[in-house]
Amino acid sequence: MLIGASASLAIMVGLEGREFLHLDLTSMLVLTGMFILYLIGILDDLFGMPATLKFVIQLIVSLFLPFCGLYIHNLYGLFGIYEIAPWIGYPLTIFTTLLIVNAINLIDGIDGLSSSLSLIAILVFGLLFLRHGLTLYVIYCAGLIGSVSVFFYYNMFGNPAKGTKTFMGDTGSLTLGYALSFLAIRYIMTCTETNIQNMHATALLVPYTLLLVPCFDLIRVAL
């Protein structure tokens, strides 16, 4: 998964265009965040880590998105609220990132559940970015789809006796959750940058719908 994301991000950085410098900073921070969570997941899967320490690291990594300019800056009429100030948008973005990361981590208890839901979400995000003309983000989604699809196959149909069955663990679920939070927040920001009609109405609805099951499951357990 990390390899697929890294490859697609490398292509994004290497492509020439008006968004080069912006995507360079964004892609490097996103890749760094994914790599940190990947390492934390390995340590937790192998040796176990205190929940408090994992949460603190997740909190630090969630700061990367606002730092590179990706944050929820508009509620598109939800509760009668439209544009919001950065001092509100930054904490909201951090909360959303933590929610998605831990939601994907929590549902990783049944074979194929987290990967199948994530595949659907990534595919839809990719199609939406394609409609917006954001080819670079389509490439990122394609890299994720390739890596998650391979994992899904061996997770569902792998043979434990032959050593071909794979499990996601915290290593994969934390990394995947962070990638999904990046896509969700980027899509929310994209809807204010496009001239496509009726897209503003879906800015919050689409990410909410795609990630409804894992997020509601996390809230149910927390309550």
Model confidence at 21: pLDDT above 50:
no
Which DSSP category does 165 fall into?
-
Residue of higher predicted confidence among 51 and 204 = 51
Residue 108 has a pLDDT of 81
Q: Does the structure show a pLDDT above 70 at 84?
A: yes
* pLDDT(34) > 50: yes
Structural tokens at position 209:
């719908």
Residue 149 exposed, middle or buried by CB count within 10 Å (0-12, 13-18, 19+): middle
Residue 154 parent element (H or E):
helix 135-157
Taking 70 as the threshold, does the pLDDT of residue 13 lie above it? no
Note down the domain range covering 160: 2-222
| pTM for the structure as a whole | 0.87
Mapping DSSP to helix (H, G, I), strand (E, B) and coil, where does residue 68 land? Answer: coil
Highest mean pLDDT among 24-33, 88-97, 152-161, 198-207: 88-97
- What is the pLDDT at residue 142? 92
Indicate the pLDDT class of residue 193, thresholds 50, 70 and 90.
low
**Number of separate domains in the chain:** 1
pLDDT of residue 2: 53
The pair phi, psi for residue 32, each rounded to 5°, is -60, -45
Provide the pLDDT for residue 194.
Answer: 62
Say whether 111 sits in a helix, a strand or coil. coil
